[in-house]
Amino acid sequence: MMTAGQPFQILIVDDNPLNLKLLETTLAKDGYHVLSATNGPAAREIALVEKPHLILLDIKMPEEDGFQVIQKLKENPATTTIPVIFLTGVSDIGTKLHGFELGAVDYITKPFHPREVLARVRLHLKLSIATNSLIAGQAQKLKQITEAQTSMLVTPDMVPRARFGVYYSALQEAGGDFYEVTPISDEIFGYFVADFSGHDIQTSYLTASVKALLKQNSAPVYEAHESMQMINDVLVEILPEGKYLTACYARLNQKTKQMTIVNAGHPPVIFVPLEGKPVRVDMQGDILGIFKEVYFGSHTMDVNSGDRFYLYSDGLIESSRDKTLWTSGSNKLLAACEDAGSVSIQEAPRHIVQLLSDKDVPIEDDVVVLGVEV
């Protein structure tokens, strides 16, 4: 976060001393504080320690090229949010697209002109400032919530094109588990299941806040993992000490037939292809609301009409009485999801719960099962 009177820090990474000197001189004359590195490992170390506001990164370098460097930067929660502009002498579209897929925000083609460098640096610093201001503004608005809000649970008939079914059961009136289904466009829908720590009246405030954040940040302009990152940034500002949540967010594009799943410390999604056996979509991911610098597992897969996905809370298969964790209970869950293929997607979640429930054992936790059909 920038404070008044402090210069922006720009990290330049280039193995060519002449390029490095030209960029250093250009940026220093315009008031920037310049850091420099001649190789990838050194650049990553500087980025980790100094947290520059922007990185200018050469693509062609020995041993560790720019693509490898940015991939490692984005995988590290401490450096994942730093904007990266590539420096390259290559102008083919394939190279540029690959860089954007890895997280670059722009390209500067060599030989570069000092005025172009300054213009692009200013542009992306302004965009970074705007994003940070947006997050701060959302956090401030949500802090002003002074009374509990009960959000209406979305049902399949409210959003029929989203093609989902849901089972929801709260152990207490202020349940810690919740779900949301959000239309993003005519063909794109977001599905969200989360589990708050604790069950108290405060949770009802927080549930309404998270649902509002999800709707604010689930726009086509944002990738699924970017939506989760922005939600986390606000939650870090507003959640009371000791409060956090695990979550899974899935975004289905019915037109392109692609599903993107983002995991934040939550049990894995179950994928049930129309032709084939159910499988877990295993991913690692940090929980929401504790740390500013986080990493979320993200996976995009091609799907077909009739394929199904199940998002759920750990109360579905965990039991303190039987000492069962979701990791050891997942085989039963896979079998139940496969068996549910015989009923409609609207009825499938309840069918799964019935197969996994013991009628003689009372419920121990909230349970949410959200089924989605392509």
Residues 300 and 369 in one domain: yes
Q: Where are the beta strands (DSSP E) in 61-149?
A: 84-88, 106-109
pLDDT at 141: 61
Residues 131 and 212 in one domain: no
Domain boundary among 141, 169, 192: 141
Residues 172 and 82 in one domain: no
Q: Tell me 343's DSSP state.
A: S
**Domain housing 71:** 9-141
Q: Classify residue 149: in a domain, yes or no.
A: no
Q: Classify residue 66: in a domain, yes or no.
A: yes
Averaged over 34-54, what is the pLDDT? 94
Q: Classify residue 284: in a domain, yes or no.
A: yes
Per-residue pLDDT tens over the stretch 272-318:
999 889 999 999 899 999 888 889 989 999 999 999 999 998 888 76
The tally of CA atoms less than 13 A away on the side-chain side of residue 373 is 20
Residues 126 and 243 in one domain: no
Give the CATH number, domain containing residue 80. Answer: 3.40.50.2300
Give the CATH number, domain containing residue 356. Answer: 3.60.40.10
Q: Classify residue 192: in a domain, yes or no.
A: yes
Is the confidence at residue 249, as pLDDT, over 90? yes
Is the confidence at residue 173, as pLDDT, over 60? no
- The pair of structure tokens assigned to 190 is 């977001």
Q: Classify residue 241: in a domain, yes or no.
A: yes
Among 135, 111, 115, smallest CA distance to 123 is for: 115
Residues 216 and 360 in one domain: yes
Residues 99 and 243 in one domain: no
Residues 264 and 354 in one domain: yes
Residues 104 and 172 in one domain: no
Residues 226 and 256 in one domain: yes
Give CA angle at 199 (197, 205), nearest 5°: 90
Q: Classify residue 353: in a domain, yes or no.
A: yes
Q: Classify residue 125: in a domain, yes or no.
A: yes
With beta carbons less than 8 A apart as the criterion, state whether 56 and 69 touch.
no
In the chain, the number of structural domains is 2
Where is mean pLDDT largest: 151-165, 216-230, 335-349? 335-349
- The pair of structure tokens assigned to 109 is 């083609």
Weakest-pLDDT range from 107-116, 125-134, 145-154: 145-154
